[in-house]
Amino acid sequence: MEAENKKSFIKVLIFVLGFLVITSGAYFGYRYFLTVKELKEVKTQFASSTIDFENKIKQLEDELNQTKNENTNLNNSLLAERAKNEFFEEQINAIQGTVNTLNKLSKTDRELLKKYSKVYFLNENYVPAELAEIDERYLYNNNHKDKPIQIHAKVKPYLYKMLESASSSGVNIKITSAYRSFNDQANLKLSYKMIYGSGANKFSADQGYSEHQLGTAVDLTTPELKNLSLDFEKTTAYRWLNENAYRYGFVISYPRENKYYQFEPWHWRFVGVALATKLHNSHQYFYELDQREIDQYLISIFD
């Protein structure tokens, strides 16, 4: 009896186990089916998302390229406008420079660099716009109190610097004559003619042709010489002037072999530092240059 009960129990147990196995298999099979299905759906969704993502990336790249192109165009436009503005600025500066030059020239006496001495003529009414008295310490003697010796006011600083520079080098240079009016020159020439006759024309200009009327010419000497003479050429003062006067804008007007007057080592004319330097470096003298070339230096005569 017990043996039959055991057999029945075993049968029931086997049935139950079989049922559980079948049920478990069915469940896991169902879950596998669901998992595969879900996986396919996920793959499908992922593939769709990937396409959308790629499309979005391409769209953003297109927008980025479009923005870059717009920036490039804007930059090119900016450069073009900047170049245009720079061109206009250069034009404006050039015009302004021309205006400033013309304005400066309009305020500069055009007679100051003319080639007088038998070439151009100054009438009896011409007087430099500004004349200044020369300090007595620079004069050859003090016998000028009744009629002070004068120089063009803008030339005076250059003249003083030149004489002081010479003095600091141990060279004593004095002034015997500077500005002379039309009438002063006429009286001087008359006195020379009374003494030397027609020979006066070799060393003295007629009124209206004298550089002294400009107020920019001076006659120089040293205390050792009693008057103007060719002996000035032999002095240390003359050698110093030949080597240094151009630094202060002065040049000798009538060197040896000039075609206007006899050699005058004492007669020096202010023409401005730029022109004086050009003449010194090229070993030329003032009256050798064409007037048009000389006129180019008028703008800088007092610079």
**DSSP one-letter string for 83-102:** HHHHHHHHHHHHHHHHHHHH
Q: Are residues 65 and 180 in the same domain?
A: no
Q: Looking at residue 24, what is its pLDDT? A: 67
Q: What mean pLDDT comes out for the span 233-254?
A: 97
Same domain, 48 and 61: yes
> Is 54 found in the same domain as 162?
no
- Residue where a domain terminates, one of 73, 107, 141: 107
pLDDT in tens, 45-68: 766 667 777 787 888 787 778 878
Least confident of 149-158, 185-194, 215-224: 185-194
Boundary residue ending a domain (85, 107, 129): 107
The better pLDDT of the pair 222, 75 is held by: 222
Going by DSSP bridges, is the β-strand pair 250-252/267-270 parallel, antiparallel, or unpaired?
Answer: antiparallel
Strands (DSSP E) contained in 119-242 are 131-133, 150-152, 174-177, 217-221
Residues 148 and 64 in one domain: no
Say yes or no: 52 and 147 in one domain: no
Can you give the pTM of this predicted structure?
0.67
Strand partners, 303: none
d(CA 3, CA 136): 164
Considering the domain architecture, whether residues 276 and 133 belong to the same structural domain is answered as yes
The per-residue pLDDT for range 264-303, each reduced to its tens digit, is 999 999 999 999 999 999 999 999 999 999 999 999 999 8
Q: Which domain holds residue 52?
A: 1-107
Element (H, E) at 270: strand 267-270
CATH number of the domain that 175 lies in?
Answer: 3.30.1380.10
Q: Are residues 55 and 185 in the same domain?
A: no
Same-domain pairing of 119 and 198: yes
Domain count for the chain:
2
Q: Under 8 Å CB-to-CB from 178, ≥6 apart: which residues? A: 134, 149, 150, 151, 212, 215, 217, 218, 219
Do 150 and 84 reside in the same domain of the chain?
no
Q: Which of 107, 138, 157 is the last residue of a domain?
A: 107
Q: Which tens digits make up the pLDDT trace of 53-107?
A: 778 788 878 777 887 887 788 778 777 777 666 665 665 454 444 444 546 545 6
